[in-house]
Structure 1
Amino acid sequence: MKRVFGIAALVACLLLSPMAALASERGPVTNLPLPRFVSLKASEGNVRRGPSLSHRIDWVFKHRNMPLQIVAEHGHWRRVVDRDGAGGWVHYTLLSGSRFGLIEEDMTPVYRLADSASDIVAHAEVGVVARLGKCDLYWCRVTLDGTKGWLPREKLWGLMPGEIRE
């Protein structure tokens, strides 16, 4: 009996370890997982070199709902990176928990169902921002300019590996 329990425990650890690794680090301010995805709430957001107004603005994000990955926290500031790995410090009031993804491949088909054999309802261009709905390990429900459909999740940037959205 002990041997069966030991094997079951080992199998459980191996299956759960990738998910545990995702949530192992927590932000010191929010206690939320790091890294995690958010979106730009405003139509413009200053990206600073450090976590305060006295730090220089390196550039400005100019796309509302753009997905960003939070990689660090300090007070009211969040260190974010975009799809290209460019990043800096953004005030938390410019960020939203609403989830969006960035289309990674030009003319990506958007399917009526979570099945590549279903009808194509649209084609999405690279760089388009899609509102994320339900996601499993293979497909995400998205909304693009009012059109709803399903995309293979590997065509999107804005999800943690193994992340499931209900």
Structure 2
Amino acid sequence: MTAAAVAAILLPVMSLAQQRGPVTNLPLPRFVSLKAGEGNARRGPDLSHRIDWVYKRRDLPLRVTAEFEHWRRVEDMDGQGGWMHYALLSGVRTALINTDMTALRAQPDADARELALLERGVIGSLQSCESGWCQIDIDDLQGWLPRAALWGVESGEVFD
């Protein structure tokens, strides 16, 4: 498939308005996580395309921005990415700490007891998000973080 043919299919999908994927009918963009310990992000949606990135961190949150057959266009926190086969991705929601020494709190309140200080780059499993705070599991700890300290959840997104 030529790049022009792929672009013609994807142009309607690339808008950031709340759209649905043509394959899954799930919202675009949306967050997923890397299921495998390693995954190749390719220049296009096919094994013949060049590998641009190799992700080597299981549970890394990625944003899906487009779909084509069994392929998903993903980007990481830095806006880098490419096309990955859907089998490498999971619907399990994770988030990456994007600010250094972020306090994990016992409750969704800036004055709540501090459970731990988290370094930038730590990944945890999202449990729920509400009014500016997200509940997250990191190893054996469960607590609350300000949404602004996380990458892997949209601003204003609420889920439980």
With the shorter chain as reference, the TM-score category is 0.7 to 0.9
Count, aligned residues: 146
Offset at residue 161 of structure 1 (A): 2.4
Q: Where does the alignment leave 5 or more consecutive residues of structure 2 unmatched?
A: 1-14
In the other structure, the counterpart of 1:53 is 47
- Contact kept, 8 Å, 1:23 with 1:33, in 2: the verdict is no
In the other structure, the counterpart of 1:134 is 128
Of the two, which has the highest radius of gyration?
1
- Contact kept, 8 Å, 1:40 with 1:63, in 2: the verdict is yes
Aligned partners of 1:40, 1:77: CA distance in 2, in Å?
A: 14
Offset at residue 22 of structure 1 (A): 7.2
For residue 121 of structure 1, the aligned residue among 112, 115, 136 is 115
For residue 24 of structure 1, the aligned residue among 7, 18, 21 is 18
- Contact kept, 8 Å, 2:39 with 2:56, in 1: the verdict is yes
SS in 1 for 2:26: coil
- Contact kept, 8 Å, 1:51 with 1:89, in 2: the verdict is yes
Aligned partners of 1:114, 1:24: CA distance in 2, in Å?
A: 28
Offset at residue 137 of structure 1 (A): 2.5
Tell me, yes or no, if structure 1 residue 77 matches structure 2 residue 71. Answer: yes
In the other structure, the counterpart of 1:68 is 62
For residue 95 of structure 1, the aligned residue among 78, 89, 112 is 89
- Contact kept, 8 Å, 2:132 with 2:156, in 1: the verdict is no
Most deviating of 70-79 and 54-63: 54-63
SS in 1 for 2:96: strand
Q: Provide, for residues 44-87 of structure 1, a one-character-per-residue CA deviation record: whole Å limited to 9, x for no partner.
A: 00111100011111120000000000000000000000000001
Offset at residue 150 of structure 1 (A): 0.5
Aligned partners of 2:66, 2:16: CA distance in 1, in Å?
A: 14
Q: Where does the alignment leave 5 or more consecutive residues of structure 1 unmatched?
A: 1-20
In the other structure, the counterpart of 1:7 is none
TM-score by length of structure 1 reads: 0.85
Aligned partners of 2:41, 2:112: CA distance in 1, in Å?
A: 41
Aligned partners of 1:116, 1:22: CA distance in 2, in Å?
A: 32
The two structures, once aligned, show a CA RMSD in angstroms of: 1.4
In the other structure, the counterpart of 2:37 is 43
4+ aligned runs moved over 2 Å, structure 1: 21-24
Most deviating of 90-99 and 137-146: 137-146
Report the AA paired with residue 21 of structure 2: G
Report percent identity of matched pairs. Answer: 57
| Structure with the bigger percentage of helix | 1
SS in 2 for 1:154: helix
